[in-house]
């Protein structure tokens, strides 16, 4: 056991939650910060029982938050056009789809745009969404059904 033992998790959380939330909003924007916030403190909780000492807990949780933000941005990178995207059309498919799909719930919207706009397969889409191929397929078909309903 080190010089200072870790305080009950509640105290640690209460002391750092607002600062970590602000950090994540700066990195990711408010909407994505909400998921990242939960992921950050769940990772902290997982490690908390085995902490050898309680020094620099603030810096420690900031590092976790930065890692979570990086992971989230890395997962999302395929959603942005890459360099070798063939420029056949001034208005590429994904742009048109993004406009059409803008009213869908976030996961369905992402699945539809990635599948039909970027031609990714469900395996890849699952990885982007942090789920799997089956969930990605379901999200895409739910999105398409919803779009059909809206367009008719």
Binding site for other proteins (CB under 8 A): 5-11, 13, 17-18, 20-22, 25, 34, 37-38, 41-42, 45-46, 48-49, 51
140 neighbors 122 (Cβ within 8 angstroms): yes
Residue 49 main-chain phi, psi, to 5 deg:
-65, -20
Least distance in Å: CB of 75 to other proteins?
19
Q: How far is the CB of 125 from other proteins (least distance, A)?
A: 24
How far is Cα 148 from Cα 126, in angstroms, rounded to an integer?
23
Q: Give 139's contacts (C-beta < 8 A, 6+ positions apart).
A: 107, 108, 110, 111, 112, 129
Q: How far is the CB of 132 from other proteins (least distance, A)?
A: 20
9 or 81, CB closer to other proteins?
Answer: 9
Q: What distance in Å separates the CA atoms of residue 84 and residue 90, rounded to the nearest whole number?
A: 15
Query: Of 129, 82, 85, nearest to 110 (Cα)?
Result: 129
Q: Which is nearer to other proteins, 41 or 118 (CB)?
A: 41
Tell me whether residue 17 or residue 133 sits nearer to other proteins (CB atom).
17
The residue behind tokens 């998790």 is 9
Least separation in angstroms between residue 65's CB and other proteins is: 12
Q: Which is nearer to other proteins, 11 or 63 (CB)?
A: 11
């Amino acid at each position: 056991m080190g010089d200072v033992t870790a305080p009950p998790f509640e105290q640690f959380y209460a002391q750092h939650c607002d600062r970590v939330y602000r950090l994540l909003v700066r990195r990711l924007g408010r909407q994505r910060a909400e998921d990242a916030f939960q992921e950050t403190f769940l990772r902290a909780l997982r490690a908390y029982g085995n902490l050898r000492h309680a020094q620099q807990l603030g810096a420690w949780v900031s590092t976790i938050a930065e890692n979570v933000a990086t992971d989230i941005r890395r997962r999302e990178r395929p959603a942005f056009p890459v360099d070798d995207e063939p420029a056949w059309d001034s208005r590429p498919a994904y742009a048109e789809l993004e406009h059409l799909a803008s009213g869908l719930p976030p996961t369905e919207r992402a699945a539809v745009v990635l599948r039909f706009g970027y031609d990714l397969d469900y395996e890849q889409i699952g990885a982007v969404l942090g789920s799997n191929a089956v969930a990605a397929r379901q999200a895409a078909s739910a999105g398409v059904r919803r779009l059909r309903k809206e367009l008719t």
